[in-house]
């Protein structure tokens, strides 16, 4: 166990809806990164938050947004859901810059868009 938790574990939504996924970092970790893992693929980087500010983003549209709270927990919000958004969403926490420190992953949230 890494100490990173995510909720919910599974979620079913319909196209066009909005969804919020949550992540609780490992104790003391101030950086959170979010990844999307489509079936049969490796995870793809969505964005990263450090001390409540987004400081890095992958190739995802603006309808993917996030927040990081003072306790370093985090949310991923996806608006106007599309069928291709069906995936496993992983969050990972690290102490300081993920470029220097290892990222520890949560168990993920499985999102199905119908």
Partner 1 sequence: AQTVTQSQPEMSVQEAETVTLSCTYDTSENNYYLFWYKQPPSRQMILVIRQEAYKQQNATENRFSVNFQKAAKSFSLKISDSQLGDTAMYFCAFVYSGGGADGLTFGKGTHLIIQP
Name the 3-class secondary structure at 76. Answer: strand
Q: Is 35 in the site for partner 1 (CB under 8 A)?
A: yes
Q: Is 87 in the site for partner 1 (CB under 8 A)?
A: no
Member of 87, 103, 111, 113 binding partner 1 (CB under 8 A): 103
Member of 66, 98, 111, 113 binding partner 1 (CB under 8 A): 98
CA-derived radius of gyration, the chain: 13
φ/ψ region of 62 (left if φ > 0, alpha if ψ in -120 to 50, else beta) reads alpha
Member of 17, 55, 77, 79 binding partner 1 (CB under 8 A): 55
Per DSSP, 18 falls in state: -
Q: Judge whether 72 and 30 are in contact, CB under 8 Å.
A: yes
Applying CB under 8 A, which residues contact partner 1? 1-2, 33, 35, 40-48, 50, 55-56, 58, 88, 90, 92, 97-100, 102-108, 110
């Amino acid at each position: 166990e890494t100490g990173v938790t995510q909720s919910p574990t599974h979620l079913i939504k319909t196209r066009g809806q909005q969804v919020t996924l949550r992540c609780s970092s490992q104790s003391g970790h101030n950086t959170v990164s979010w990844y999307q893992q489509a079936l049969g693929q490796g995870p793809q980087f969505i964005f990263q938050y450090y001390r409540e500010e987004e400081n890095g983003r992958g190739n995802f549209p603006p309808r993917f947004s996030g927040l990081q709270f003072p306790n370093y927990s985090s949310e991923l919000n996806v608006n106007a859901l599309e069928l291709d958004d069906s995936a496993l969403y992983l969050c990972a926490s690290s102490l300081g810059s993920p470029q220097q420190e290892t990222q520890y992953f949560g168990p993920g949230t499985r999102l199905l868009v119908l």
